[in-house]
């Protein structure tokens, strides 16, 4: 089954947003964290899909259900909002995005490389695999999957791999939050680049966003399957 055929038949999308603690760092003081940029991009992606008439589901990593001012479902380590194209679904999605934006500003992430951050071969934890399998099992079988993550480790690739294993397209939109003005930032950038290379083998398309183009353009590319 070709990518073009899958895209032609797809009338639904699933947007996966990663705002886990490790994403809440920035390239420099005063710059948005990877989580902040990701939350903005994911919300814009949902809006673009809705404007195009798609059914949309939302999966969010890194937000506690207690932080959301609306009833939402938890699937393993993720929050799940189905049917965001409905009035009730859009209300829940907005509440989740509000909570995601709030936690995204918590600059709690440390620069030190964790064992997870040093994984470059695409291996992910069983917990991440289980979360991806259960969450994607709740969305449309034909849904395009857009993963939005600054990629502080390889865990989000569980969603891309699960998507492709079940016949879906998988696109990664990854804001670069590393920077090159400090030694720590440069080292983090090298580690992230290795993870991006791994992601290219796990996804149909990878959009590595470093600010050279407007974020809205990058989001439109992600919604368009990664095509320019």
Give the pLDDT confidence score for residue 176 in this predicted structure. 93
Q: Is the pTM of this model over 0.85?
A: yes
Whole-number Cα distances in Å, 68 to 49, 71, 102, 153: 23, 8, 10, 25
The residues of the chain scoring below 70 in pLDDT are 1-10, 107-122, 179-181, 184-185, 227-228
Give the pLDDT confidence score for residue 45 in this predicted structure. 98
Residues in the chain: 228
Give the pLDDT confidence score for residue 106 in this predicted structure. 83
170-175 and 12-18 strand pairing: unpaired
Give the pLDDT confidence score for residue 228 in this predicted structure. 60
Q: In what order do the strands lie in the sheet with 170-175?
A: 73-75, 78-81, 55-61, 12-18, 144-148, 170-175, 205-209
Closest CA to 134 of 107, 166, 180, 87: 166
Residue 18 lies in a domain: yes
Give the pLDDT confidence score for residue 211 in this predicted structure. 86
Residue 213 lies in a domain: yes
Give the pLDDT confidence score for residue 14 in this predicted structure. 98
The total domain count for the chain is 1
Structural domain including 57 reads 3-223
What angle is formed at CA 117 by the lines to CA 115 and CA 119, rounded to 5 degrees?
Answer: 75
Residue 228 lies in a domain: no
Which CATH number fits the domain that encloses residue 76? 3.40.50
Residue 9 lies in a domain: yes
């Amino acid at each position: 089954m070709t990518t073009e055929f899958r895209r032609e038949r797809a009338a639904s999308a699933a947007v996966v947003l990663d705002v886990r603690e490790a994403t809440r760092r920035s390239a420099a003081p005063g710059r948005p964290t990877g989580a902040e940029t990701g939350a903005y991009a994911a919300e814009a992606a949902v809006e673009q899909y809705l404007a195009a008439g798609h059914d949309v589901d939302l999966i969010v990593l890194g937000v506690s259900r207690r932080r959301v001012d609306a009833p939402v479902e938890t699937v393993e380590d993720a929050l799940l909002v189905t049917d965001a194209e409905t009035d009730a679904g859009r209300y829940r999605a907005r509440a989740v995005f509000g909570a995601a934006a709030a936690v995204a500003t918590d600059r709690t992430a440390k620069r030190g490389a964790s064992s997870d951050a040093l994984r470059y071969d695409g291996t992910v934890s069983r917990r991440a695999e289980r979360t991806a399998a259960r969450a994607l099992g709740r969305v449309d079988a034909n849904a395009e999957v857009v993963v939005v993550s600054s990629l502080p480790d390889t865990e989000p690739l569980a969603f891309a791999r699960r998507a492709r294993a079940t016949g879906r397209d998988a696109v990664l939109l990854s804001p670069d939050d590393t920077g090159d003005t400090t030694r720590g930032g440069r080292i983090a950038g090298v580690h992230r680049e290795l993870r991006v290379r791994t992601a290219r083998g796990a996804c149909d398309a990878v959009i590595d966003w470093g600010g050279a183009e407007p974020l809205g353009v990058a989001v439109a590319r992600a919604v368009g399957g990664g095509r320019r």
